Each structure stands twice: as C-alpha cells, then as structure tokens.
C-alpha cells in the first residue's frame, strides 16, 4: 500500500491537479512552520554551531533522490586534488546507531546506511554517520584531525550546523509543481538562498536559475556483483541482446532502489540497451529477494543497491547480477568558484 501511495503522490507533485490542490492548505502550514524555524535560527533563539573547519552542505529541496551521492564523491575527489583533506558527515538513512560512528571496512549498511558506505568506498575519505550533524562533525574532527574541510551529505535543512557554502542539487524533475510538501515535492521554497545550483540532467530544466551548473551521470562499464574483477562494457550487453536466435535472446532486467529509478534506466537506454524495468522503493533493503522468481539472464543494478546485495547470501553470488557504477561529470567552473568562496574561510 505504501508504494502505491508514494507513486500517487509522486505523480501529483509534478502537476497542480486535484490531489495537489486538496493538500495545499497543509502545504501553507508546512511553509509557515518552516519559515518560523528558519527565523528562530537566524535570530539565535535556536542554537547553531560553527565547526572549526569550513563546512560545505550538499542537499536538495526536492524530496527524495536527485544524485547527491555521485556529486559528493566528485566533490571529495576534486577538493582533494585541490589540496584539501575532506571528510564527509551523513545522517545515514536507516542507520541504527544514535551516536556518531566512523565507517570502517567492516561497517554494515543496516548500521550506517547504504549511501555513506558507497561514498567511503568510492571517494576513499573518512565518513562519520550520525543523526546530529554537529556531533558527527565534532566526532569526525576528533577521530581524523587531518580533516580540514567537511562535506555534509544531505544536511541542507539541518540548520543547527552552520555552513559556509550551500549546494542545492536538482534533477530533470526541476521543482515539480513548485509547491511545498505535501501538495508538492519541495521541502523549502524554490527560491531559497544557496551558493550554487547543480542540475543533474542531460538537458535544460525549466525553473532553474541561469547560473545553474549542469551535471551528468556517466556509466560505461558493468562489474559482476560476485566478482568485481569481471567487467564488461555496457555496449556488450546491447550486442548480446541482439545476438542468437530471435526466439531466445538474453533477457535483460534493470532494477533500481534509488530516489529516481528512471534516471538509472535512462543511463542504460543511453548506452543502447533494451530491458525490462524494476523500480524499487528508495533504500530498498532486499530482505525479500525481488529477483528470486525473475526470468532474466542478466540483471543490472545500481552501486547503491549493490552495497546491500553484497551482504546477503541469496544475492551476493547470483551470477546474473551486474553493477553499473556511475560517475558525475560537471560542466562549468564549479570547482574554481567553490575554491574562490573557500579562500575567505580558513580553518580556525
């Protein structure tokens, strides 16, 4: 029932139809409460804390996934190349620990979340998970004193942590119908202040500022889940599909448990693949194996889903499962502009 409700709301959030209109009074109340909260922080009635190193927040106002994890990985790598020693703090969706926890090679997704594990693996940087971003930041600096810049993954609305730079990430859905929750998909007004807007889309998106920087997610290879040393170009799957007799072509399935599964499917179609689609709820835990009764020869999944599949005996050795890593490509001078802003904020 929950997936059906989420699907209905997602469709309603992209236009100003009857359901969205019916929820508009609640959206006004949500907006008033959010504005009051922001003013209380601005006036000092609610406490906010500045950490002794610069803090860059990467977040979104569109509820759900917009591609923050690939962008955070790109930022870590770019800032490291520029001479910084960045670390990441994250809420860790579904994390079971109330106190901050530094990720280790033995960390499990049910304890720290899937996205922090992916960031730590791909970016090779220290990652601290905690519900309280201020406590997580302090714990990270205590555990890894070499860190001289903190990236806060998905902390845009966590105003208890002061930030030096805000990056708002959107995708091809833009601002949806432009209304706040629950009548629309926005956590905060579309015109909220920010330092940078990054748009994860292949084409221009209506409603985005003229200064928006475009981001693309590229994936050219797939690696077998059971053995990462086995890799194949995505184009090879397209060739395989067309090989053999017309009655027995290899059957391809693409599955994605991310905030916007259609984005993953679009990446695969861009590589020339034809496949059946299996959209899964965001942060799907795979406790129930969705592939058990699937008649597919090859199943393509996201890196985020692979983090959890590798922990499950029913999935980690399934030879049909192939992971498609994606890399963020940033158009424009985001790094140069970011470094320029950071020059005015040195570690204390």
Instruction: Please check if 264 is assigned to a binding site.
Output: no
C-alpha pair distances (Å), 268 with each of 28, 283, 300: 39, 20, 9
Write the pLDDT tens digit of every residue in 253-272: 999 999 889 889 999 998 89
C-alpha of 259 from chain center: 8
Peptide bond into 339 cis (omega under 30): no
Instruction: Read off the tokens for 194.
Output: 């920010």
Write the pLDDT tens digit of every residue in 27-39: 999 999 999 999 9
Q: How far apart are CA 301 and CA 280, in angstroms?
A: 11
Instruction: Please check if 291 is assigned to a binding site.
Output: no
Residues forming a β-bridge with 276:
253
7 pLDDT exceeds 90?
no
Instruction: Please check if 327 is assigned to a binding site.
Output: no
Instruction: Please check if 63 is assigned to a binding site.
Output: yes
**Rounded to the nearest 5 degrees, what angle is found at the Cα of 70, between the Cα atoms of 240 and 163?**
175
pLDDT at position 249 is: 58
Instruction: Please check if 10 is assigned to a binding site.
Output: no
Would you place residue 238 in the very low, low, confident or very high pLDDT band (cuts 50, 70, 90)? confident
Write the pLDDT tens digit of every residue in 318-345: 999 999 999 999 988 999 999 999 987 6
Sign of CA dihedral 110, 116, 118, 120: negative
Phi, psi of 333 (to 5 degrees): -105, 45
Instruction: Please check if 67 is assigned to a binding site.
Output: yes
Instruction: Please check if 66 is assigned to a binding site.
Output: yes
Write the pLDDT tens digit of every residue in 285-321: 999 999 999 989 999 999 999 999 999 999 999 999 9
**H runs (alpha helix) in 15-87:** 18-22, 24-43, 68-81
Would you place residue 95 in the very low, low, confident or very high pLDDT band (cuts 50, 70, 90)? low
C-alpha of 291 from chain center: 24
Q: How many CA atoms lie within 13 A of 82 on its CB side?
A: 19
- In contact, 180 and 186? CB cutoff 8 Å: yes
Say which DSSP state 14 is in.
T
The mean per-residue pLDDT over the stretch 143-152 comes to: 98
Instruction: Please check if 196 is assigned to a binding site.
Output: no
């Amino acid at each position: 029932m929950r997936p059906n409700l989420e699907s209905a709301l997602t469709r309603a959030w992209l236009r100003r139809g009857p359901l969205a209109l019916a929820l508009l009074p609640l959206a006004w109340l949500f907006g008033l409460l959010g504005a009051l909260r922001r003013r209380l922080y601005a006036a000092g009635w609610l406490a906010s804390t500045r950490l002794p190193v610069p803090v860059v927040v990467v977040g979104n106002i569109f509820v759900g996934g917009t591609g923050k994890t690939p962008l955070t990985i790109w930022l870590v790598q770019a800032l490291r190349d520029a001479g910084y020693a960045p670390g990441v703090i994250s809420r860790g969706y579904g994390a079971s620990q109330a106190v901050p926890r530094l990720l280790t090679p033995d960390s499990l997704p049910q304890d720290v979340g899937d996205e922090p594990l992916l960031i730590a693996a791909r970016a090779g940087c220290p990652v601290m998970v905690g519900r309280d971003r201020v406590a997580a930041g302090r714990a990270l600096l205590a555990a890894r004193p070499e860190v001289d810049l903190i990236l806060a993954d998905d902390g845009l609305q966590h105003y208890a942590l002061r930030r030096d730079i805000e990056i708002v990430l959107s995708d091809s859905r833009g601002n949806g119908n432009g209304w706040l929750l629950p009548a629309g998909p926005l956590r905060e007004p579309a015109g909220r202040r920010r330092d940078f807007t990054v748009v994860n889309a292949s084409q221009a998106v209506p409603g985005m500022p003229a200064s928006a920087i475009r981001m693309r997610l590229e994936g050219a290879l797939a690696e077998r889940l059971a053995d990462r040393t086995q890799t194949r170009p995505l184009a090879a799957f397209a060739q395989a599909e067309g090989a053999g007799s017309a009655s027995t072509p290899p059957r391809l399935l693409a599955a994605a448990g991310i905030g916007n599964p259609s984005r993953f499917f679009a990446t695969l179609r861009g590589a020339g693949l034809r496949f059946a689609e299996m959209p899964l709820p965001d942060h799907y835990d795979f406790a129930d194996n969705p592939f058990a009764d699937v008649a597919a020869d090859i199943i393509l999944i996201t890196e985020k889903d692979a983090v959890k599949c590798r922990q499950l005996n029913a999935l980690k050795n399934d030879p049909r499962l192939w992971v498609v890593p994606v890399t963020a490509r940033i158009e424009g001078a985001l790094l140069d502009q970011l470094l320029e802003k950071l020059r005015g904020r040195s570690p204390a």
